[in-house]
Amino acid sequence: MPTDNWINETLYPDWGQRFRVTRELARVQSEFQDIAIFESASHGRVMVLDGVIQITEADEFVYQEMLTHVPLLAHGSARNVLIIGAGDGGVLRRVLQHSNVERAVMVEIDGEVIRLSKQFLPGIAGDAWTDPRANVIVGDGIDYVKRAPDASFDAIIVDSTDPIGVGEVLFTDEFYHNCARILTDRGVIVNQCGVPFMQADELRETSLRRGNFFPHVTAYVAAVPTYVGGFMTLGWAAKDASLAATPLEAIRARAAAAGIAGATNYWTPEIHVGAFNLPPYIARHLPKA
Ligand code: SAM
């Protein structure tokens, strides 16, 4: 953990961020990863998995809002949503803010992440854990999608760690093949796809893979301060190309109907539409349309 009250992120060998630690809250070596949660001087409480910043209380809203509201409002009538990873509960909370969602299944491989998030980061999930529409499963996402019935979900949100270790299977052909099978004919899947300024391979390679199973593949961006390196990308793959081009007025109307309008601190209808307009240094890593 910290030396001299600092913790250094280990994501990149030659560059990184550090946090001044004011209090260590948890340090657990689970069956899958090293889990650390601490109080920071600058960003509230922070969770780190295998040395990589996962979530901070200060800026989690950016990421959770964009990973959740963009696909659900682009779809417009998602009732069954699958969340993979997201052990802190933040995505689950925001999915359940959508009044049209009837079922939110969350599959997190590491029960220790859920347990420690409930204990030390209770504000991230709020009361999502006890929402009657929520079904929280401790298991491997790749196994869940293998067994799930055809056309059983309208949207899949993959909030996983990077494609190393346990997260690696969530970026494979097998995974995307089954995701395409279990999504409905207007289904969409989004996934955290790294910071392309530093992790362009993650966006390029996983977008090519998704293109083998989905007719429309693109990405959208969000500026998450603690995912260092500029914009982070959310990978997008859909069976209906029109979803990513949903007009501003439709997004605005759907947000109002779903109870999202005015309940966000980063997402807005204009940010939603604008997020798909990628700077060339990012767009060049996507499959040619
Ligand atoms: N927002 C973070 C980011 O972008 O790096 C991710 C947060 S969330 C804590 C990542 C979660 O993915 C972790 O709790 C990890 O246990 C989970 N995860 C990794 N591989 C998984 C798998 N194969 N199935 C289900 N959950 C997985």
| Rounded alpha-carbon distances, angstroms, from residue 83 to 7, 11, 112, 135 | 29, 24, 17, 10
Sign for the pseudo-dihedral over CA of 5, 6, 10, 13: negative
* Contacts of the segment 28-36: beta carbons below 8 A, 24+ positions apart: 28/112, 28/116, 30/110, 30/111, 30/112, 30/113, 31/110, 31/112, 32/109, 32/110, 32/112, 32/165, 32/166, 33/110, 33/161, 33/165, 33/166, 35/110, 35/112, 35/113, 35/116, 36/1, 36/7
Determine the residue type at 67.
Answer: L
State residue 65's pLDDT score: 98
- Ligand 1 pocket member 196 (CB < 6 A): no
The pTM score is 0.96
One domain, residues 67 and 177: yes
Atom index in ligand 1 nearest the CA of residue 144 equals 24
Can 131 be counted among the known catalytic residues? Answer: no
Q: Are residues 20 and 153 in the same domain?
A: no
141 lines ligand 1 (CB under 6 A): yes
What share of residues in the chain are helix, strand, coil (percent, to 5)?
35, 30, 35
Q: Under DSSP, is residue 142 helix (H, G, I), strand (E, B) or coil? A: helix
Please check whether residue 289 lies inside any domain of the structure.
no
Minimal CA–CA distance to 31: which of 120, 140, 144, 141? 140
Mutation test of ligand 1: which of 34, 88, 108 has the most ligand atoms closer than 8 Å to its C-beta? 108
Q: Which residues pair with 134 in a beta bridge?
A: 104
Separation of alpha carbons 117 and 201, rounded Å: 30
Residue nearest (by alpha carbon) to ligand 1 atom 17: 85
What would the pLDDT profile of 72-90 be if each residue is shown by its tens digit?
A: 999 999 999 999 999 999 9
DSSP class of 149: P
- Determine phi and psi for 5, rounding to 5 degrees: 65, 25
Specify the pairing of strand 153-159 against strand 80-85: parallel
At residue 161, the pLDDT reads 85
Instruction: Indicate whether 120 and 215 sit together in one domain.
Output: yes
How many CA atoms are closer than 13 Å to the CA of 78, on its beta-carbon side? Answer: 33
- Residue of 88, 159, 173, 201 with catalytic role: 159
User: Are 79 and 166 in the same domain?
Assistant: yes
Structural domain including 12 reads: 2-56
CATH of the domain at 37: 2.30.140.10
Query: Does 256 lie in the same domain as 226?
Result: yes
- 80 with 7, same domain: the answer is no
Confirm whether 267 is domain-assigned: yes
Does any ligand 1 atom lie closer than 6 A to the CB of residue 113?
A: yes
Question: pLDDT by residue (tens digit) across 175-216?
Answer: 999 999 999 999 999 999 999 999 999 999 999 999 999 999
- Ligand 1 center to 186 CA (angstroms): 25
- 127 and 101 housed in the same domain: yes
Answer whether residue 210 is part of any domain.
yes
User: With a 6 A CB cut-off, is 159 part of the ligand 1 pocket?
Assistant: yes
Q: Both 195 and 239 in a single domain? A: yes
Q: Buried (b) or exposed (e) across 132-145, using 16+ Cβ within 10 A?
A: ebbebbeebbbebb
- Asked whether 206 and 235 are in contact (CB, 8 A), the reply is yes
Q: Are residues 219 and 199 in the same domain?
A: yes
pLDDT tens for the chain, 289 residues long, are 545 699 999 899 999 999 999 999 999 999 999 999 999 999 999 999 999 999 999 999 999 999 999 999 999 999 999 999 999 999 999 999 999 999 999 999 999 999 999 999 999 999 999 999 999 999 999 999 999 999 999 999 999 988 888 888 888 999 999 999 999 999 999 999 999 999 999 999 999 999 999 999 999 999 999 999 999 999 999 999 999 999 999 999 999 999 998 899 999 999 999 999 999 999 999 998 6
Q: What's the CA-to-centroid distance between 238 and ligand 1, angstroms?
A: 22
Best substitution site from 160, 168, 202 to test ligand 1's pocket, by max atoms within 8 Å of Cβ? 160
Per DSSP, the residues of 198-219 read HHHHHHHHHHHHHHTT-SEEEE
Question: Does residue 24 fall inside a structural domain?
Answer: yes
* Claim to verify: residue 168 and residue 90 sit in the same structural domain: yes
> Do 42 and 66 have their domain in common?
no
| Beta partners for residue 188, in sequence order | 155, 238
Give distance in angstroms: CA of 161 to centre of ligand 1.
Answer: 4
Answer yes or no: is 249 within a domain: yes
Asked if residue 288 is part of any domain, the answer here is: no
CATH (domain of 256)? 3.40.50.150
pLDDT at 163: 81
Number of folded domains that form the chain: 2
**Ligand 1 pocket, mutate which of 10, 11, 109 (most atoms under 8 A from CB):** 109
pLDDT of residue 164: 80
Question: Is the CB of residue 50 below 6 angstroms from any atom belonging to ligand 1?
Answer: no
Instruction: Answer whether 167 contacts ligand 1 (Cβ < 6 A).
Output: yes
